[in-house]
């Protein structure tokens, strides 16, 4: 196990680079550097040992939960008179994949993540995952209270204007669902998958009260649903 004494004696250039990065990102010196090494190790660079490929995926799973809890706690206290639907929506806007990818890039995760650079598309999708893994490493290294402070002081407050987040209404699916609830209409999303020369594509059809509305397309189910929801918003003028 790493400790502060061993960190001071490290001769590895990569170790020193990682320590400096963690101090810059999180504001403290890591006590257990091995956790942060693992947090920045994508599966594309991981080595298989005894049938197990050790990468940052387990820390990502843990960090996802801790990050969600810390943000939920922060919003719960900041908005004491808002209902759970509002709190859930704002949390989702903060911790969604695109938002975390952008945040990870801003704080310099791209400079420390270890991945197969031959795959030029990887960095576009792994930064947010690595940030979640980093949160998991901080939690194991420093405990929940210190980790929550890191999330709020170093990630949320410097990079998210909550007034802007609250007033930005880009989640078309949520808007359609809220409309259906207000108007007593059952809502369904019918998903179909097609294959073409480029790979898979999904189609989503919004069904409101048994009637078809917007139809959308995308390379993922989520994007297809959002596209269909956006077209439905236009049709419903919401």
- Asked if 92 and 181 sit in the same domain, the reply is no
**Position 4 pLDDT exceeds 50:** no
Instruction: Tell me the pTM.
Output: 0.68
DSSP bridge pairs for 48: 53
**Position 7 pLDDT exceeds 50:** no
Query: What whole-number distance in Å separates Cα of residue 49 and Cα of residue 32?
Result: 22
- Asked if 134 and 72 sit in the same domain, the reply is yes
- Asked if 160 and 188 sit in the same domain, the reply is no
Question: SS3 of 218, please?
Answer: strand
Task: Look up residue 125 and give its two tokens.
Answer: 């999708």
- Give the residue numbers spanning the domain of 87: 4-167
**Per-residue pLDDT, 233:** 86
Residue 203 near residue 231 (C-beta atoms within 8 A): no
Of 115, 150, 167, which residue constitutes the final position of a domain? 167
Residue 90 near residue 161 (C-beta atoms within 8 A): no
Task: Look up residue 35 and give its two tokens.
Answer: 């956790």
**Per-residue pLDDT, 50:** 55
**Per-residue pLDDT, 72:** 97
For residue 182, give the CATH number of its domain. Answer: 3.30.160.20
**Per-residue pLDDT, 121:** 64
- Asked if 138 and 28 sit in the same domain, the reply is yes
Task: Look up residue 123 and give its two tokens.
Answer: 């960095």
**Per-residue pLDDT, 171:** 72
- Asked if 183 and 135 sit in the same domain, the reply is no
Other beta carbons within 10 angstroms of residue 116's beta carbon come to 12
Q: Nearest-5° angle of CA 47, CA 52, CA 53?
A: 35
Band of pLDDT at residue 27, cut at 50, 70 and 90 = very high
Q: How far is CA 209 from CA 111, 161, 189, 232, in A?
A: 50, 37, 12, 13
Of 167, 182, 205, which residue constitutes the final position of a domain? 167
**Per-residue pLDDT, 123:** 65
- Asked if 198 and 150 sit in the same domain, the reply is no
Active site residue 14: no
Active site residue 84: no
Q: Nearest-5° angle of CA 36, CA 41, CA 43?
A: 150
**Which carries the bigger pLDDT value, residue 109 or residue 123?**
109
* Catalytically annotated residue among 60, 64, 225, 230: 64
Band of pLDDT at residue 8, cut at 50, 70 and 90 = very low
Task: Look up residue 179 and give its two tokens.
Answer: 């409309």
Of 167, 182, 213, which residue constitutes the final position of a domain? 167
Question: SS3 of 2, please?
Answer: coil
- Asked if 181 and 153 sit in the same domain, the reply is no
* Catalytically annotated residue among 98, 110, 132, 169: 132
- CA 127 to the chain's CA centroid: 9
């Amino acid at each position: 196990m790493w400790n502060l004494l061993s960190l001071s004696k490290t001769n590895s250039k990569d170790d020193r680079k990682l320590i400096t990065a963690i101090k810059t990102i999180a504001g403290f010196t890591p006590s257990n550097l091995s956790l942060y090494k693992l947090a920045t190790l994508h599966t594309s660079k991981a080595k298989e040992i005894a049938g197990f490929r050790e990468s940052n995926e387990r820390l990502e799973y843990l960090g996802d939960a801790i990050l969600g809890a810390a943000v939920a706690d922060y919003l719960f206290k900041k908005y004491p008179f808002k209902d759970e639907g509002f709190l859930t929506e704002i949390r989702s806007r903060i911790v969604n994949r695109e938002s975390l990818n952008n945040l990870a890039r801003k704080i310099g995760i791209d400079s420390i993540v270890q991945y197969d650079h031959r795959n030029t598309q990887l960095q576009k999708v792994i930064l947010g995952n690595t940030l979640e893994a980093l949160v998991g490493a901080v939690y194991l290294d420093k405990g929940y209270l210190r980790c929550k402070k890191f999330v709020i002081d170093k990630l949320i407050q410097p990079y998210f204007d909550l007034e802007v987040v609250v007033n930005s209404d880009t989640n078309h699916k949520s808007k359609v669902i809220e409309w259906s609830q207000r108007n007593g209409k059952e809502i369904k999303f019918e998903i179909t998958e097609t294959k073409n020369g480029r790979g898979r594509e999904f189609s989503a059809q919004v069904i409101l009260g048994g009637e078809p509305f917007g139809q959308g397309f995308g390379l993922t189910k989520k994007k297809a649903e959002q596209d269909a929801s956006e077209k439905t918003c236009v049709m419903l003028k919401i």
